[in-house]
A and B are shown apart, each in its own frame.
Chain A
Amino acid sequence: MAQIVINNLRKEFGSFTAVQSSSFTIEDGEFFMLLGPSGCGKTTTLRMIAGLELPTSGQILLDGEDVAQTRASARDIAFVFQMFALYPHMNVRKNISYPLVSQGMARKDVRCKVEEVAQILDIGNILDRPVGGLSSGDRQRVALGRAIVRQPKAFLMDEPLGALDAEFRERMAEELRALHDRMGATTVYVTHDQLEAMQMGDKIVVMNHGVVEQFGTPQNIYDWPATMFVADFIGSPPMNFLHFDGELKPGTGSVRLNDVDVAIPVQAGEAGGKLALGVRPEHVVIDETSPMRGNVLATEYLGTSQIISVATQSGNLKVRAPSSQIVAVDSQVGLSFKQGALTIFDTQTGKAVLSEANREVLANG
């Protein structure tokens, strides 16, 4: 098992830059998520760690050793493909034992190892079946088996649940996480599904257009997004933005949105001009005493909670409220925000302005 340090990693395909100077650290034993929309460079980053693409520049330190330009076969890293990529001309047993055969392991030991892995993954009964007729869940398990059988330094997974049915995904996600906890193996996992990333990851890197937007624990990323992209990409519904013009100085504790004062965490940074107040739907409260007024556009019932869409003078926002709260469409409501949970963004740069509340999180990211 190993620590993986990514240092200024860059990949260009001709004139197209797929990954721009990314840096982050994956600690030993971590379940690490690479999250982002399609084409953001997350898969390219993963393939560079695996050695399937060679970076244009930068370092990949595997336990302190730079492997950026090393052949894939020499890195001792396992890869689980989205489409499984089981060798179709071999049966399950052969597929799983293939990486061991390449190491020249004795036949008896190979057999032993395969049986052991088959037991962990509960696929002992299909070992001698051809891979062609397997269900997608079993194929996924075989692909995992092929990865774990040789106890590599790290597992890389490229959207391994992407090809599964929705119903099965949930179960496989749990199994994966349990398997990881049991093996304690460093795992790098690529996904575009923010829920999956939050649910399974110890740490998340959010990427967009080849740039690392933020890097941290799921909770830190959710609570204190570093950029408007992260705020918008994570969370369902995403963070609300209320646009306003203003000036922020270190020490500022409130902003003025269309003649309404809103208390915000004490600012630590400076910003001016076009700004946006970011607030998660669950941090907005329907509060008739508040001077901030809005017109209810719609409500969506979600069982225990409901999403209320409100039009205010500063823009539309969504409120997550208990479903017991009765709000009539087209009525006027007052809105207040939980002061400690607000983030101000500079809309020119898209970056969050440092405050006493998010400074600790963003300083590390």
Chain B
Amino acid sequence: MSSFSVTEPSKGQKWFAGIVVVVYALITLMPLVWIIATGFKSPADAIAYPPKVIYEPTLEGYVNLFTTRTRMTPEALEDIGPPQTWYDRIVRQYDMVISGPSRYGERFLNSVIIGFGSTFLSIFLGTLAAYAFSRYRVPLKDDLMFFILSTRMMPPIAVAIPIFLMFRQLGLSDTHLGMILLYTAVNLSLSVWLLKGFIDEIPIEYEEAALIDGYTRFQAFYKVVLPQATTGIASTAIFCLIFSWNEYAFAVLLTSGTAQTAPPFIPTIIGVGKDWPAVAAGTTLFLVPVMVFTILLRKHLLRGITFGAVRK
């Protein structure tokens, strides 16, 4: 008779679980692999049918992403002389020369400023609000919490027109501040709710101990509650960043130049030349910050909050 264990899965179960995970991973990773691969194709390979799985990789897409180019007559090219750098050589194949940098860098920087700025603000305000809701006797607490959550009960874009008019009136259209405030407003309800849950889990005795030990309420919050809440803050920050980083609709509507973020900019790269590799390259690079941010905070995501310090 074979032994049977409730906690230890059998070999068959392990294999089955493994296969499910692998299949799921393949399905979710496919678009990502496709985008990354396309970024290294030539424009001709990118639109080849059937799609090419094996191809000669080129950095053409990346060069096109970061530059603007001008087509020149062979005589004019003759005047300039042979290409000097590897990226010059790439564009020279098409009788073109690099005429300057593209706007991708600026747009990317806008995304960084707006994405991280609104994430910081959402977390900062959210933590304070969540702490107050968690620890103090706030009048109408439940109603207020519901009201905060209710702002998420419709798609934010449903209020696009009022916000558009409001932004125009206040001079916030196409400004970093405007976008940071907007994304913070959208994220704040999520951050307050998530963080309140995390702070509720932190026993109030820690703060009381700190008060007794001679610290002020704010010091107790800062030195005892915050370190305990890092797990919650880290995961909330990731959610907030992913939203504001990827947001497209408001960005299209409210930004056009100085504060335009990368999502509305990337599709415009395609221009008239059907430059899919450049679009794919822009998308690939756009993924990097969120991935890095998530990997950096992963340690906090996995760590238990109050492991064993209070006996319940």
Q: Spell out A's residues near B (CB within 8 Å).
A: 50-52, 71-73, 77-79, 81, 83-89, 98-99, 102-103, 131-133, 136, 139, 146, 150, 163
A132 vs B228: C-alpha distance in the bound complex, in angstroms? 13
In the assembled complex, how far is the CB of residue A164 from the closest CB belonging to chain B, in whole angstroms? Answer: 9
Whether the Cβ atoms of B309 and A88 lie closer than 8 Å is yes
Decide if B309 touches A72 in the complex (CB within 8 Å): no
Measured CB to CB, the nearest residue on chain B to A147 is B212
Q: What 8 pairs across the A-B complex have the smallest Cβ distances?
A: A88-B309, A85-B205, A102-B214, A99-B213, A132-B308, A72-B211, A85-B209, A89-B227
Across the two chains, which residue of chain A brings its CB closest to B305?
A88
Quick check: is B203 within 8 A (CB to CB) of the other chain? yes
What residues of chain B have their CB less than 8 Å away from a CB belonging to chain A?
203, 205-206, 208-216, 219, 224, 227-228, 306-312
- The answer to whether B212 touches A52 (Cβ under 8 A) is yes
- Expressed in whole angstroms, the minimum distance between the Cβ of A44 and any Cβ of chain B is 13
| A132-B216 in contact (CB<8A) | no
Query: Complex Cα distance A72/B211, Å?
Result: 6
Cα A78 to Cα B208 with chains together (Å): 11
Contact B307 A79 (CB under 8 A): no
The residue from B210, B227, B307 contacting A132, defined by CB atoms under 8 A apart:
B307
Q: How far is the CB of A282 from chain B (nearest CB, A)?
A: 38
Indicate if the CB atoms of B213 and A81 lie closer than 8 Å: no
Q: Is the CB of A72 within 8 A of B212?
A: yes
Which of B206, B213, B219 has a CB less than 8 Å from the CB of A146?
Answer: B213
Q: Within 8 Å CB of B208, what residues of A?
A: 52, 72, 79, 81, 85
In the complex, chain B residues whose CB is within 8 Å of the CB of A136: 311
User: Measured between alpha carbons, how far is A150 from B208 in the docked complex, in Å?
Assistant: 17
CA distance A99 to B209 in the complex (A): 9
Residues of A within 8 Å of B308, CB to CB, are 88, 131-133
* B211 close to A88 (CB less than 8 A): no
Known: A83-B205, A85-B203, A89-B227. A77 touches B306 (CB 8 A): no
Residues of A within 8 A of B203 (CB): 83, 85
Chain A residue numbers with a CB within 8 Å of B307 are: 88, 132
Whether B209 lies near A87 (C-beta < 8 A) is yes
Residue of A nearest to B308 (CB): A132
Chain B residue at minimal CB-CB distance from A52: B208
Interchain CB contact under 8 A, A83 and B312: yes
